[in-house]
Amino acid sequence: MSVRETDTAKLGHVSTARGPEVASRVGIVLGVAILICFCTGLLSHWIQHPPSWFWWPAHPVWLYRVTQGAHVISGVAAIPLLLVKLWAVYPKLFQRPLIGSPLRALERGSIALLVGAILFELVTGLLNIAQYYPWKFFFPTAHYAMAFVAVGALAVHLAVKLPVIRDALSRPLELAESADAGGRRHVSRRAVLTAAWVSAGAASLVVAGQTVPFLRWAAVLAPRSGEGPQGLPVNRSATAAGVVDRARDLAYRLTVVVGDRRRQFTRDELLAMPQTHARLPIACVEGWSASAEWTGVRLRDLLAAVGAYPGGDVLFRSLETSGIYRSSVLPQRHAVDAETLVALSLNGETLDIDHGYPCRLIAPSRPGVLQTKWLSTIEVLP
C-alpha cells in the first residue's frame, strides 16, 4: 500500500475508499448537477421577473415543463452525491493546520462557503417542493441569491483543487485489495461510486414522475402525484385564496381594458364566443407538471372584441385581494399566441373552482404561478 493510501486509511479508520479518487469522480457529476440546477433556476427566475433583455418563447409549449423539471430532478439527484462527496473528504476537512498558508486559507474558506451554500440550496429547495416553509425569509429571493454564492464558491474551489482533481483522475480507481490490522476488509472505491450513482438515480426516479408522465408510477416521494380536481394537482385552493364567494357570485363580471375602451363580460357571454381547444401543460416551480385539455376564448379574440389590440404586454388580475401572485404580466408574444386562452373548461368539464372558475389564464410555456386563476381584470399595458 502506498504512503497516501496508508494515511487515508488511518484518517478514515474504516475505509480506503475515502480520498480524492472517489471525491473527484463524484465531484464532477455533482458539479454538472449543480450547474444544470443553477442554469434552469436562472431561467425560471427570469421568466417570473424578466430583465428588459430577456426573451422566452411560447413554443414549444412544453419548454418550461422540461427546464423546471430538470431543475428539480438535478437538485434532488445532487443530495446523495453531496453526501458521498462529504464522506469521501471528511477526514481531510479536519487536518491541521486548519488555516495555514494563504492558498490553504482560500481553499478552506471556499470549501466552507461552498458546502454551506449548497446545503442551504438543497435543503430549502427540497422543502419548497413539499411547500413547507419553516423560515421567515422569502424563499425565491434567498434561493436565487444563494445560488450565485454557491456557483462562485464552486468556481474558486475548482480553481484551487484542479491539480489535485487531475492527479486523482489519472490514477487507477482500485489498487490491490487490502485489510487493516484487525483483518477487516475495506470498502472498495468502485463500490462507493456504484452506491453514489444508484442513489442519485433512485432519488431522481422517485420525483421525476411528477414531471415525466410515464414515470408517474415511480414517483413515490413526489408531493404532486397528479391527483386533484379534474385530474390536475392544486397548489392553492379557492378557499386558501379567499375567493369562493366572489367566484360564485352571480354578479361576477370579467373586465377587459384595451386602451381607452372597457367592457365587462359575464361567464355566459364568454361561453357564447367562439371556443378554442388547446392541450397545454401546467408546470409549477415546485417541479410538478401535467398536461390537460383546456377550452376557452382565445385571448387575442377577447381583446379584439373590446378594441383594436395595439400590441404590448397584458396584465391579469385575480379576484384574490392579497398575495404576490394575485396578478401577472403576459408578454406580447404569448398574448397573441393562438393557444393562449381565457379558459372556461378543463378536460371537457366546467372549470373547477380550485382550478380558477369562473375563468383563468392558460398560456403555453409559462410557470403555473403566472397562469392567473379567478380572473377579475385583463388590461393591455401601454
pLDDT at position 8 is 42
Beta bridge partners of 361: 342
Within 10 Å of residue 83's Cβ, how many Cβ atoms?
Answer: 13
pLDDT at position 98 is 64
pLDDT at position 94 is 66
pLDDT at position 252 is 97
pLDDT at position 270 is 97
Residue 227: partners with Cβ closer than 8 Å, 6 or more residues away: 233
| CA–CA separation, 68 and 145 (whole Å) | 18
By three-state DSSP, how is residue 85 classified? Answer: helix
pLDDT at position 177 is 46
Half-sphere exposure of 271 (CA within 13 A, CB side): 11
pLDDT at position 12 is 39
pLDDT at position 324 is 87
| CA–CA separation, 112 and 115 (whole Å) | 5
Beta bridge partners of 153: none
Residue 336 sits at φ, ψ, to 5 deg, of -90, -5
Which residues in the chain belong to E strands, given as ranges? 254-258, 261-265, 276-283, 289-298, 314-318, 327-330, 341-346, 349-350, 360-362, 375-380
pLDDT at position 5 is 43
pLDDT at position 319 is 97
Residue 15 grid cell: 475505509
pLDDT at position 219 is 72
pLDDT at position 2 is 43
Residues of the chain whose pLDDT is less than 70? 1-15, 93-100, 174-185, 221-226
